[in-house]
Structure 1
């Protein structure tokens, strides 16, 4: 099956929404209308750093998403991209959609002169098989402080 990967457009909201909802649910977060609209408005706001790509099937139905933002790297004095969210509809996995989305984000990072970095849950083994085939696993430990 042929998949097209492109920048999210204004009229993609109702195709993007179920994908983002699936992503949120997978990571144990409930998505309400307010949060969905905030994130969508970030994506569509040219002054906000969050950007998005979607993968669409031959009929134009969105089947995957990638949210990313610029990430300056002080150690290399370059700017790459941080991949915040990657989600492929379950019935379209193992077909190269996730790989295509990551490669598209990587191509954009190359235009900035940097690479791509991201994290995933330690028990997300299906995703890690893909990530291990594309990128170097690091030894960095992630910390978080709640608001």
Structure 2
């Protein structure tokens, strides 16, 4: 199976939505129409920071996506790319789709003069971590959250 990765476009909503539903289910997060439409509006709004890419198989079916955004890095006085979401449908995991999406994101970062690609994952997402350990450096940073 070959994998093609390209930017998400205006006409991709319904195919993207199927993936986003799977992503929300994977993380046990309730997905409402309002949430899905808001996230989609961010992705296609050229004035918003969030954008994304989609992975397609040989038949043109959507099999994964990446959502990412540029951010300032104060200690280096430059900008990086944060990979907010990376999702591959269950039947295609381990087939190079995630790696292709990361490579696409890395190329996007380079083309936009961004100096780092960064992301996080759930501590129990061991299958994703196998890929991430192969393509990136695991850091010692600890993440904290406050829900508001």
Deviations 1:96-139, CA, capped at 9 Å, x for gaps: 00000011101111222311101100000000000000100001
Structure 2 Cα separation of the partners of residues 48 and 14 of structure 1:
20
Residue 135 of structure 2 is matched in structure 1 by 134
Deviations 1:42-81, CA, capped at 9 Å, x for gaps: 0000111000100011121110000000021112222120
In the TM superposition, 1:68-83 aligns within 5 A as: 68-83=68-83
Q: CA RMSD in A?
A: 0.9
Residue 46 of structure 1 is matched in structure 2 by 46
What TM-score, normalized to structure 1?
Answer: 0.97
Residue 118 of structure 1 is matched in structure 2 by 119
What TM-score, normalized to structure 2?
Answer: 0.96
Structure 1 Cα separation of the partners of residues 82 and 33 of structure 2:
25
- Contact preservation (8 Å) 1:86, 1:98: yes
How many pairs were matched up? 147
2:115 counterpart SS class: strand
Residue 24 of structure 2 is matched in structure 1 by 24
1:114 counterpart SS class: coil
- Contact preservation (8 Å) 2:3, 2:97: yes
Residue 2 of structure 1 is matched in structure 2 by 2
Counterpart check, 1:14 vs 2:14: yes
Residue 97 of structure 2 is matched in structure 1 by 97
- Contact preservation (8 Å) 2:81, 2:109: yes
Deviations 1:10-32, CA, capped at 9 Å, x for gaps: 11111111111111111110111
The worse-fitting range, judged by mean Cα deviation, of 19-28 and 34-43 is 19-28
Give the gaps of 5 or more residues in structure 1.
Answer: none
